[in-house]
Amino acid sequence: MKEQSISNLLQNIGLDELEIHCYIQLLKKSPQKASEIARRLEIPKTTVLLALQKLSNEFHIVKRMKRKNTYLFSVDDPTEILRFVQQRQQQLKDQEQKIQSALPELRAMQQYETVKPKMYYYEGKEGMKKAFLQVLEEADHIIGYGSNEDELKYLPSLYPDYYKKRVAKKISVKAIIPATLFNIQHTLETEQKHIRHSRLIPAECNYPIEVNVYKHTVIFFSYEENFALVIKSKPIADCLQKMFEFAFEYSEKFDQDIRKRLQK
């Protein structure tokens, strides 16, 4: 093995450049005093001595012995490197087990103490389209409020192709939808096709906004004001998820009344 390959090997286990040079010098000739190595490397003796002490005390791959009034350093057995690597691996394994045990507590700290919500603002139709496409990349299920009529009216370049992409990704939806004439027809015709479970509510509850809640994310789309606001926050998403679940459940009566009237 060439000296450069040995240097690379030693670097990979954590030795710095000076420590590598000192170790190779001792491989070539042992024992040696720090002053001898310093002369060969043309480096101050005190600097070399610090590197040798680290190789001896921390890495345990260099032996140190005292003769008369001076210290000699040597590499007695290169297999000490293998022992060092094995010990390091065991230490890492022990640390891994400790971290694994501490993960629940670390996650709890992250959720409630250290993580700050992230907010992203998208302006204009292109910005709103970008936010909708973000939903396709991240969501597996969506709950919220919206109007099919507004989606097609304000973003015709995105819809109805967006529905196809969402269905292709098997992203299901629970939606509270105001019962305008267009929404009623569209909801009844596309409910299964768009893997959407809808609740129709009175048309007077129609507002030109949409809310998507999924995982740890809430997105508000304001069609007339032409912007989208993305909030990445577990507590906020959890809260709105529960609120929409509650609203979905208690809007069933309105939905049934509206559908019954349509059947007459």
Residue ending a domain, among 21, 43, 76, is 76
pLDDT of 168 strictly over 80: yes
Q: Which domain holds residue 122?
A: 118-263
pLDDT of 112 strictly over 70: no
How much is the pLDDT for 137? 93
Let me know whether 134 and 22 are in one domain: no
Number of domains in the chain: 2
- Rounded mean pLDDT of 57-63? 81
How much is the pLDDT for 57? 83
Query: Are 25 and 37 within 8 A, CB to CB?
Result: yes
Six token digits for residue 228: 């989208």
How many C-beta atoms surround the C-beta of residue 105 within 10 A? Answer: 9
Six token digits for residue 127: 């910005």
The rounded distance, in Å, linking the Cα atoms of 142 and 158 is 18
pTM: 0.57
pLDDT of 110 strictly over 90: no
Residue 22 lies in a domain: yes
Percentage of the chain beyond pLDDT 90 is 54
Six token digits for residue 223: 């069609």
Long-range Cβ contact pairs of 45-49 (< 8 A, separation 24 or more): 47/18, 48/18, 48/22
Name residues whose C-beta falls within 8 Å of residue 136's C-beta, 6 or more positions apart in sequence. 162, 165, 166, 169, 171
Query: Going by DSSP bridges, is the β-strand pair 141-145/172-178 parallel, antiparallel, or unpaired?
Result: parallel
Residue ending a domain, among 76, 104, 132, is 76
- Rounded mean pLDDT of 80-94? 88
| SS3 call for 138 | helix
Residue 221 lies in a domain: yes
Let me know whether 159 and 235 are in one domain: yes
pLDDT of 224 strictly over 60: yes
CATH number of the domain enclosing 220: 3.30.870.10
The rounded distance, in Å, linking the Cα atoms of 157 and 146 is 18
Residue 52 lies in a domain: yes
How much is the pLDDT for 155? 94
Percentage of the chain beyond pLDDT 70 is 97
| SS3 call for 219 | strand
- Rounded mean pLDDT of 43-53? 90
